[in-house]
């Protein structure tokens, strides 16, 4: 991670001319498309949501999630830990479908009260205020992690880490994921599955 500071004030002064989203629910995808069409101006929208979520039994939304008065949320809180946020010791930031693997493992290890998984649904513009509101709920958390399944030099880590490190209490974001690679994937299915399981275990481990 680069040690060069990111001037967040400048980022708000010169907002990006595109939106990059990675939606994890049908309602989020619906809202982001609706927002794109109803806006009185046009900016490019890049949606990097994978097709695998189309058939995932976990990636579902109710009709109430798309009812009048609802809208797209750049950041989604952990639906379990938000009940007792004072018990959370570790906060894991993630973007995309990896959330469901992390949530499943967290439940299996009975760590629902101690680990919060926060989904970053919109990467750009950086949702600083939304993330800060989530962080403030977890006053007892002492560890903050960015987890991704892409190699370290790919995915969102290099963009998110320096920005997140400015707003988390520890001023440090620990990376959990694959090592840097010159290729987008290992190309060996058995190795990929081992790495995937290991990074999930590392992210949830207390």
Give the pLDDT mean for 87-102.
96
Please, what are the domains in the chain? 8-204 (3.40.50.11610)
According to the model, what pLDDT value does residue 14 have? 59
43 φψ region: left (φ > 0), alpha (ψ -120 to 50), beta (else): beta
Separation between Cα atoms, residue 135 and residue 84, nearest integer Å: 14
Q: Is the pTM of this model over 0.95?
A: no
pLDDT on residue 13 = 56
C-alpha closest to that of 184 among 154, 140, 145, 141: 154
Give tens-digit pLDDT for 102-138.
999 999 999 989 999 999 999 999 999 999 999 999 9
């Amino acid at each position: 991670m680069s040690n060069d500071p990111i001037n967040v004030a400048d980022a708000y002064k010169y907002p990006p001319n595109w939106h990059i989203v990675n939606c994890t629910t049908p309602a989020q995808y619906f809202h982001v498309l609706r927002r794109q069409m109803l806006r009185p101006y046009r900016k490019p929208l890049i949606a990097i949501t994978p097709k695998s979520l189309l058939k995932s039994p976990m990636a579902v939304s109710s009709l109430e999630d798309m009812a009048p008065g609802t809208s797209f949320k750049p950041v989604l809180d952990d639906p379990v830990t938000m009940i007792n946020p004072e018990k959370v010791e570790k906060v894991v930031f993630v973007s995309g479908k990896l959330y469901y693997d992390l949530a499943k493992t967290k439940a299996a290890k009975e760590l629902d009260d101690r680990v919060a998984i926060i989904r970053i649904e919109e990467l750009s513009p950086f949702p600083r205020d939304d993330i800060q509101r989530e962080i403030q709920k977890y006053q007892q958390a002492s560890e903050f992690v960015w987890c991704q399944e892409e190699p370290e030099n790919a995915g969102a880590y290099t963009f998110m880490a320096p920005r997140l490190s400015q707003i988390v209490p520890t001023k440090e974001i620990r990376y959990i994921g694959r090592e840097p690679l010159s290729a987008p994937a290992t190309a060996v299915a058995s190795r990929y599955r081992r790495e995937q399981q290991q990074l999930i275990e590392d992210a949830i481990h207390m």
